[in-house]
Amino acid sequence: MENELHNLIKLWISAIISLCYCYYISSKLPKGIFKLFSLTPIFIFFLYLPLTVSSVHLVGITAFFLSWLANFKLLLFCFDQPPLSPPPSNLFHFISLASLPIKPKQKTPSQNKFKPPQRSILFAIKVLIVALLYHCYSYKQNLHKNVVLAMYCVHTYIELELTLALAAIPARAMFGLEIKPQFNEPYLTTSLQDFWGRRWNLMVTSILRPTVYYPIRRISTRLVGSSWASLPAIIAVFVVSGLMHELIYYYLTRVAPTWEVTWFFILHGVAVAAEVVVKKVVPENMRLHPVVSGALALGFVAVTAVWLFFPQLLRNGVDEKTIGEYCKLMDLLKGSVPARHVSGWLAEHVALFASSLGVCELRQWPSLGPCELDLWPYVMSWVLGFALRAESMSSLCEQGS
């Protein structure tokens, strides 16, 4: 664990130094081939960095943040395209935009007003669901295989959303940025196009549009006309997404690619393109009800994920490594914090959370009784307290800005 943290620190120091080079040197070059040539070593270096750590969580985060998003943002930077162009006046603002999965949005007067607590409550509920899933994994040998796979589907969504949401908090705290959400409740989707384009991992969607979709659509418009130009562009986006997921899978497993996850995204690209064609041909009053089409879309995602998305991870034990890392972290925290402080700490975070929402009066927090040093109640208390504090800090930053 100590060696892994040491490697992580070196990794991010190296990444920050690399981005300083981009800010002070490459940004002064004219757009095009010269700037692209100057950034080529950075592209290669960011592709190498995930190989310097071995933890599943750290590898996944590093690969997604640096090898994918940062490289694609720097590619746009070569041609003076947002989000890194024009470069911010603040170096740390530039580093945050380049290395974190964030996309600032314009503020409106209504956004400066008091915000209801629904988002923070949903955030805390999702954290508790993840903790519950980890607890249930202790009994997965007694569960049906399909139940475990369904748990993995839910786990993938929630942990990815929580990771991206927490990663955005430093940018909010340091710069007062209003950040676009990375997910938009994908379980409420009405179609595959809605799921991938407007609800699931919107940071990836926003980076693939200018790097892949728009250029391919411009080329396709000249070849097949504007009516059908979006179809090859859609498929190209999913092909690139599949290849990047294949790269991340290589970082996680360190085995030769099987191309299953690439075919997962190609299949979904073809399905989304077919859906676009159907919407052009079929009148709106003859289409399926959104509830029905949404359920079919989610079913299609789940079935194809079990078929093509998860098998490579399961064969190489990535799921077991993920669970093992979580348990090691909880054991470490379990040994470093006295049990008698857990209930009081949770109450403190709940009080802070309530105060950040403008609650003027709090009832006396009931005694939680003696807290035995058992992993499960400790995990539940710790993750809930952490989630509430993180979201309350984010809310305070937004209100202050």
Within a domain: 392: yes
Q: 111: pLDDT confidence band, cut at 50, 70 and 90?
A: very low
Q: 350: pLDDT confidence band, cut at 50, 70 and 90?
A: very low
In this structure, the answer to whether residues 275 and 146 fall within a common structural domain is yes
Within a domain: 67: yes
Burial of residue 170, with CB atoms counted within 10 A of its CB: 0-12 exposed, 13-18 middle, 19 or more buried: middle
Q: 47: pLDDT confidence band, cut at 50, 70 and 90?
A: very high
Domain boundary among 55, 70, 99: 99
Question: And the tokens for 27?
Answer: 């940004």
Is the backbone peptide bond immediately before 83 cis, with ω within 30 degrees of 0? yes
Q: What's the pLDDT tens digit per position in 265-313?
A: 999 999 999 999 999 999 888 889 999 999 999 999 999 999 999 999 9
In this structure, the answer to whether residues 256 and 167 fall within a common structural domain is yes
In this structure, the answer to whether residues 54 and 182 fall within a common structural domain is no
In this structure, the answer to whether residues 266 and 182 fall within a common structural domain is yes
Domain of residue 144, residue span: 116-324
> Is residue 249's pLDDT more than 60?
yes
pTM of model > 0.85 = no
Number of structural domains (the chain) is 3
**Distance, C-alpha 37 to centroid of its chain:** 29
In this structure, the answer to whether residues 262 and 357 fall within a common structural domain is no
Decide: 269 and 300 in contact? Cβ < 8 Å: no
**Distance, C-alpha 144 to centroid of its chain:** 28
Judged by phi (left if over 0) then psi (alpha if -120 to 50, else beta), residue 97 lies in alpha
d(CA 242, CA 297): 19
Q: Is the dihedral of CA 205, 211, 216, 222 positive or negative?
A: positive
Question: And the tokens for 99?
Answer: 């290395």
In this structure, the answer to whether residues 179 and 157 fall within a common structural domain is yes
DSSP 78-94: TTT-TTTSSPPSSHHHH
What pLDDT, on a 0 to 100 scale, did the predictor assign at position 371?
37
d(CA 70, CA 315): 29
